[in-house]
Amino acid sequence: MMNPKTQNKVAIGTLYGVAGLVVLILLALLGYILVSGLPQLSWHFLTAPAKAFLKGGGVGVQLYNSFYLLILAMLISFPIALGAAIYLYEYAKDNWVTTTIRTAIEILSSLPSVVVGLFGFLFFVVKLRLGFSILSGAFALTFFNLPLLTRSIEDSLRTIDTTQREGGLALGLSRWEAVTRVILPAAVPSILTGVILSAGRVFGEAAALIYTAGQSAPALDFTDWNPFNISSPLNPMRPAETLAVHIWKINSEGIMPDAKAISSGSSAVLVLAILLFNFAARYLGKRLYKRLTSA
């Protein structure tokens, strides 16, 4: 039997070892992505269209699709999430209806993204005949995003001191006005942080997209901005493979001779984008907070 002091030393030492090992694994992971991916990056890689059977293709179309889908998905999901969060924060009574609704939101957030994607396939692609299209993909991403975004906006609203709301009500504002004119502006910085962080998650999502936005990226004509033309980048009815789907696709098909190099480069782009989203969330949040509160 060790005495407690030696035991303490051994245990703390072990914990140092465990934490060190975890840091090592995580840093190795990040390092591997960046070291193998960064050399692939070039202007050509980021803008050129992909080639199916030849070397030297790029990910231009996929990168554009990722951003277009992200923006569409955020445009659809943000107003819904905002409305839902406002209701939960301001109007929802503490009864079984609210509990049920909260449970439903929790269930939606815990559903595997592949299930959300399959539902999107069944409902939008097949039932509503939208086909494999940006629109189907954007709806699937919306479902994936809604519960997390709702919760993050509601949390943001809750961080604002209730005296502000009470002050508004005491001045004769209606509850809706108190929320939208007093609480909401004060919560903008932290809402924005939540939105950007969820954008990062949406940007890298693939499982919900392979059967909704499709796995092919038709060539785009970046001079044609009429949304009704099939080769227009703005057309929401065309199939659109995103960067994350692209990585999966070329690795599981394996007909591209430089699939590994392209995947490394794409992974690095994805990780850099996530990094960027993270920093932007922090920086903009702080900046806006200073501006709006004159602190």
Partner 1 sequence: MMKSTQQLEQQLKRHSKAAKLEIWGKVVSFSALILIVAVVVGIIGFVASKGLATFFTNHVSLWDFLSGKSWNPGVTDANGKPEVGALPMIMGSFLITVLSAIVATPFAIGTAVFMNEISPNKGAKILQPVTELLVGIPSVVYGFIGLSVVVPATRAIFGGSGFGILSGTCVLFVMILPTVTSMSVDALRAVPRYYREASLALGATQWQTIYKVVLRAATPGLMTAVVFGMARAFGEALAVQMVIGNAALMPGSLVDPSSTLTSVLTTGIGNTVMGSLQNNALWSLALVLLLMSLVFNLIVRLIGRKGRLQ
Q: Which stretch binds partner 1 (CB under 8 A): 40-48, 162-170, 230-238, 263-271?
A: 263-271
Q: Which stretch binds partner 1 (CB under 8 A): 50-58, 108-116, 160-168, 219-227?
A: 108-116
Euclidean distance between the first and final Cα of the chain, in Å?
58
Q: CA-CA distance, 267 to 41, in Å (whole number)?
A: 11
Per-residue x/- mask for partner 1, residues 211 to 250, rule CB under 8 A? Answer: x--------------------------------xx-xx--
Residue 71 found at the interface with partner 1 (CB under 8 A): no
Among 22, 71, 170, 171, binds partner 1 (CB under 8 A): 22
- Which has the closest alpha carbon to 150: 79, 70, 73, 97? 79
Among 95, 226, 252, 294, binds partner 1 (CB under 8 A): 252
Residue 18 found at the interface with partner 1 (CB under 8 A): yes
Subset of 166-185 contacting partner 1 (CB under 8 A): 173-177, 179-180
Q: Which stretch binds partner 1 (CB under 8 A): 41-49, 120-128, 185-193, 229-237?
A: 120-128
For 120, phi then psi, to 5°, come to -60, -40
Residue 169 near residue 178 (C-beta atoms within 8 A): yes
Q: CA-CA distance, 87 to 90, in Å (whole number)?
A: 5
Crossing angle for the helix pair 259-293 and 243-253, to the nearest 10 degrees: 160
H helix or E strand, kind and range, residue 195? helix 184-204
Subset of 30-69 contacting partner 1 (CB under 8 A): 30, 32-33, 36
Q: CA-CA distance, 276 to 197, in Å (whole number)?
A: 10
Distance of closest approach, residue 127 Cβ to partner 1, in angstroms: 9
Among 131, 260, 284, 289, binds partner 1 (CB under 8 A): 260
Subset of 192-211 contacting partner 1 (CB under 8 A): 197, 200-201, 203-207, 210-211
Residue 2 found at the interface with partner 1 (CB under 8 A): no
Please give the C-alpha separations between residue 65 and each of 50, 217, 228, 232, 271, in angstroms, as whole numbers: 13, 8, 16, 12, 17
